[in-house]
Amino acid sequence: MNEQSLPSRTLERAVGELAKLPGIGRKSAIRLALHILAKGPEFGLSLAESIHSLATETKQCQRCHNISESDICQICADERRDSTRICVVEDVRDVLAIENTGQFKGYYHVLGGVINPMAGVGPQDLYVADLPERVEKTGCEEVIVALPATAEGDTTAFYVYKKLKHLPITISALARGVAIGEELEYADEITLGRSILNRVPFENSLKI
Amino acid sequence: MNEQSLPSRTLERAVGELAKLPGIGRKSAIRLALHILAKGPEFGLSLAESIHSLATETKQCQRCHNISESDICQICADERRDSTRICVVEDVRDVLAIENTGQFKGYYHVLGGVINPMAGVGPQDLYVADLPERVEKTGCEEVIVALPATAEGDTTAFYVYKKLKHLPITISALARGVAIGEELEYADEITLGRSILNRVPFENSLKI
């Protein structure tokens, strides 16, 4: 099935829109559109409505740029959290992932991406500019830079570091090392090398 | 990232709806929803609108049950096609695939599925009942059953055959055999065996 025109302009348009989503090509888009059709109008209407709401009603937390129902997100509104720590992450999924570990009780700062010149994303496209002021005003003592272990993540981490290093705070990064459950022989050299350089007191390794 | 609740009900709802699509799990749905958010309101509105139209405006051809802009689809409305042949297929994608070959100039009959008791799809859920009458009324001389080479496809093909065998027409099935470009040693035994039993005059194999 090549680029044959579909039997209906409505179908063609929906396939075109669905195929703009990441990881969905034209064939998958046709499969999704036919599934929506096969499931009947209610199914499609409900999906369309939920995407409509997503596009128009979702807000961004004015403090941390996390997705939110209101001006300040649930996490920023929770005063029981540790206001001395801010964790800088790429996007909302990272907030979810870190919340899931149960190991961090501070606040977040969502950059909304990483610096990636190839994709046309520069520092001005990220929420970095307001971070130093936020750190100063909130009595933050430590910023944990929790960005992806990629070239783009490292570049962004260094940019964030430069913006903060004049402040009297600790700036830390996620530990890189051999993953729990991983065999040493399958770890790549850089990760294994880093995990030797950054070795920890044995008692620490007993903590979950 | 497990089943942690998302930071917004709107997001949660969109993720829930997207995850109902085939082949899209919760993680993919979150990725799609965040992409829609990141692309800005216009992107999401356009997608929502196209799905809304798909769900409410698309019609089905009253003759062949193909997706259509009007009561009768483009193919059925084309009087230059060969009215002596009807090709029975599972769904719209098969119409596109066969049209793409350029080898069939007759009309189609889209069943809208195959019999699959495990998925609760019985003959009454398919557009089979109107096929015998359509064949009789239109002067059709041959019905080509072009259903998938699966257990469900074979069951459905046999059901269609039983519904038509009292009529004075030829009922044929797609040739099963070694695919063009395939090495014999990699073809499965049943396909290879079938391609020996149903061998064709050598001159026929020279046609595309």
Query: What's the CATH code of the domain at B25?
Result: 1.10.8.420
Least CA distance to A71: which residue of chain B? B8
**Comparing C-alpha atoms, which of B101, B119, B98, B118 is closest to residue B110?**
B98
- Domain for residue A192, yes or no? no
- Residue A169: what pLDDT? 93
Among partner residues A14, A30, A55, which is closest to B50 by beta-carbon distance?
A14
CB–CB contact A32 B22 (8 Å): yes
- Tokens at residue A73, please? 């997100």
Q: How many domains does the structure of chain B reveal? A: 2
List of residues 6+ apart from A42 with CB closer than 8 A:
B55
Q: B51 and B86 in one domain?
A: no
Q: B102 and B147 in one domain?
A: yes
Interatomic CA distance for residues A23 and B3, integer angstroms: 22
Query: Please, which pLDDT band fits residue A1 given cuts at 50, 70 and 90?
Result: very low
CB of B109 within 8 A of CB of B160? no
| Residue B11 touches chain A, beta carbons under 8 Å | yes
Strands A85-89 and A107-110, by their bridges, are: parallel
| Residue B140 touches chain A, beta carbons under 8 Å | no
* Per-residue buried b or exposed e for B160-174, using 16+ beta carbons within 10 Å of the residue's own CB: beebbeeeebebebe
Query: Please, which pLDDT band fits residue A134 given cuts at 50, 70 and 90?
Result: very high
- Which one of A24, A54, A63 would you mutate to disrupt binding with B, by most B Cβ within 10 Å of its Cβ? A54
Among partner residues A7, A21, A68, which is closest to B35 by beta-carbon distance?
A21
Which amino acid is located at A18 in the chain?
L
Query: Is 90 exceeded by the pLDDT of residue A102?
Result: no
- Domain for residue A62, yes or no? no
Query: Please, which pLDDT band fits residue A4 given cuts at 50, 70 and 90?
Result: low
Interatomic CA distance for residues A89 and A75, integer angstroms: 14
Which amino acid is located at B37 in the chain?
L
- Residue B131: what pLDDT? 96
- Residue B58: what pLDDT? 87
Query: Is 60 exceeded by the pLDDT of residue A194?
Result: yes
Which amino acid is located at A186 in the chain?
Y
Q: A84 and A50 in one domain?
A: no
CB–CB contact A1 B66 (8 Å): no
CB of A170 within 8 A of CB of A189? no
- Domain for residue A196, yes or no? no
Tokens 């499969």 belong to residue:
A31
- Residue A36: what pLDDT? 93
- Domain for residue B40, yes or no? yes
CB–CB contact A10 B54 (8 Å): yes
CA angle in degrees (0–180, nearest 5) for B181-B187-B192: 105
Poorest-confidence range of A20-24, A129-133, A195-199?
A195-199
Q: A46 and A96 in one domain?
A: no
- Tokens at residue B73, please? 């689809």
| Residue B93 touches chain A, beta carbons under 8 Å | yes
Q: Give chain B positions within 8 Å (CB) of A67.
A: 6-8, 11, 37
Q: B35 and B92 in one domain?
A: no
- Tokens at residue B192, please? 């290879």
Poorest-confidence range of A20-24, A197-201, B51-55?
A197-201
Query: Is 50 exceeded by the pLDDT of residue A164?
Result: yes
Q: A84 and A51 in one domain?
A: no
CB–CB contact B6 A95 (8 Å): no
Q: A127 and A42 in one domain?
A: no
Query: Is 90 exceeded by the pLDDT of residue A175?
Result: no
Poorest-confidence range of A8-22, A190-204, B15-29?
A190-204
- Domain for residue B13, yes or no? yes
- Residue A65: what pLDDT? 94
Give the bridge partners for A67, in sequence order: A60
3-state secondary structure of A134: helix
**Comparing C-alpha atoms, which of A114, A72, A119 is closest to residue A93?**
A114
- Residue B2: what pLDDT? 46
Which amino acid is located at A199 in the chain?
R
Interatomic CA distance for residues A145 and A161, integer angstroms: 8
Q: A85 and A149 in one domain?
A: yes
- Residue A174: what pLDDT? 87
Q: What CATH number does residue A136 fall under?
A: 3.40.1360.10
Enumerate residue ranges in chain B where pLDDT < 70.
1-5, 205-208
- Domain for residue A12, yes or no? yes
| B108 Ramachandran zone, left/alpha/beta (phi>0; psi -120 to 50) | beta
- Domain for residue B98, yes or no? yes
Tokens 């350029």 belong to residue:
B102
Q: Considering only residues A128 and A182, tell me which one the structure prediction assigns the higher pLDDT.
A: A128
> What's the pTM value of the predicted model, to 2 decimals?
0.73
CB–CB contact A17 B66 (8 Å): no
Interatomic CA distance for residues A30 and B148, integer angstroms: 18
Poorest-confidence range of A2-11, A19-28, B77-86, B139-148?
A2-11
Segment A27-54 mean pLDDT:
92
- Name the residue range of residue B49's domain: 7-55
Q: Is B48 exposed, middle or buried (0-12, 13-18, 19+ CB in 10 A)?
A: buried
CB–CB contact A51 B14 (8 Å): yes
Domain end (from B39, B55, B71): B55
- Domain for residue A146, yes or no? yes
- Residue B161: what pLDDT? 93
